[in-house]
Amino acid sequence: MTIRFGLLAFPGVQQLDLTAPYEVFASMEEAEVHLVWKDTVPVISATKLVLQPTTTFAGCPQLDVICVPGGVGVNALLEDEEVLSFVRMQAGQARFVTSVCTGALVLGAAGLLDGKKATTHWNARDFLADFGAVQTPERVVRDGNLFTAGGVTAGIDFGLTIVAALRGEKEAEAVQLSLEYAPMPPFNSGTPEDASADVLAATRQRLAGSRAARQAIIARLPLARNSAG
């Protein structure tokens, strides 16, 4: 039976948040993968890669797996009721409700994280509590039918986890082998715990602008449980 996947493709998406799980999903047997947005006009990712949505909110079929990637463009989605309504509607019937990186915050803004274990990019993980989620610092976290992944490259691990949940470990292993996914990074700086203090400080500074803007948005969201009320 064909499994329908849908990933939000929005302006300012972090392209690897989207393309990493897309590649894994599309490599699974009997998979139908949609890039979903308000219209089918090409969107420009955070790193300027142009992506082509394949269907609209109105034309999207009911998905078995809905996935919200992250990126700087997430900030606008947190207050976009058209997006949040679509996510809630699809989540109501989807087999799995999922996110990669800061896409988890969109699930939170849609009211889908309350009381759930979840993860996201390390630089945004503390925001999860604002949506009633239980911060869980793992690369991929499952709570019932909710799957959330850490930052960016965790989308590959996440994708394989989803394939295994849908079709079993042998299919996931076959996809992993076909993609030759056997990571051996040249540096050991992939987490805040592993990075040196100066690299961590410089990276926090690099991400500070987007984080500050996101923090201000979350502070005014009606669902958010923060000091601003």
- Domain segments of the chain: what residues? 3-220
Between CA 65 and CA 166 the distance in angstroms is: 10
Number of residues that this document lists for the chain: 229
SS (H, E, C) the chain: CCEEEEEECCCCCCHHHHHHHHHHHHCCCCEEEEEEECCCCCEECCCCCEECCCEECCCCCCCCEEEECCCCCHHHHCCCHHHHHHHHHHHCCCCEEEEECCHHHHHHHCCCCCCCEECCCCCCHHHHHHHCCEECCCCEEEECCEEEECCCCHHHHHHHHHHHHHHCHHHHHHHHHHCCCCCCCCCCCCCCCCCCHHHHHHHHHHHHHHHHHHHHHHHHCCCCCCCCC
pLDDT for the residue 223: 76
**For the chain, percent of residues with pLDDT exceeding 70:** 98
CATH of domain 3-220: 3.40.50.880
First to last CA, the chain: 46
pLDDT for the residue 171: 98
Averaged pLDDT score across all residues of the chain: 96
Confidence check: pLDDT of 136 > 60:
yes
* 8 A C-beta contact, residue 55 and residue 40: yes
Mean pLDDT of 23-35: 98
Q: 213-228 pLDDT, tens per residue?
A: 999 999 999 877 764 4
Catalytic residue among 20, 65, 101, 133: 101
Half-sphere exposure of 141 (CA within 13 A, CB side): 23
Q: 35-79 pLDDT, tens per residue?
A: 999 999 999 999 999 999 999 999 999 999 999 999 999 999 999
pLDDT for the residue 222: 86
Between CA 195 and CA 203 the distance in angstroms is: 10
pLDDT for the residue 65: 98
Question: Is 60 in the active site?
Answer: no
Q: Which pairing describes strands 140-143 and 117-118: parallel, antiparallel, or unpaired? A: unpaired
Between CA 82 and CA 64 the distance in angstroms is: 20
Q: 167-190 pLDDT, tens per residue?
A: 999 999 999 999 999 999 999 999
Between CA 131 and CA 109 the distance in angstroms is: 7
For 150, other C-beta atoms within 10 Å of its C-beta total: 26
pLDDT for the residue 226: 63
pTM of the predicted protein model: 0.96
φ, ψ of residue 223 in degrees (nearest 5): -80, -20
Mean pLDDT of 70-99: 98
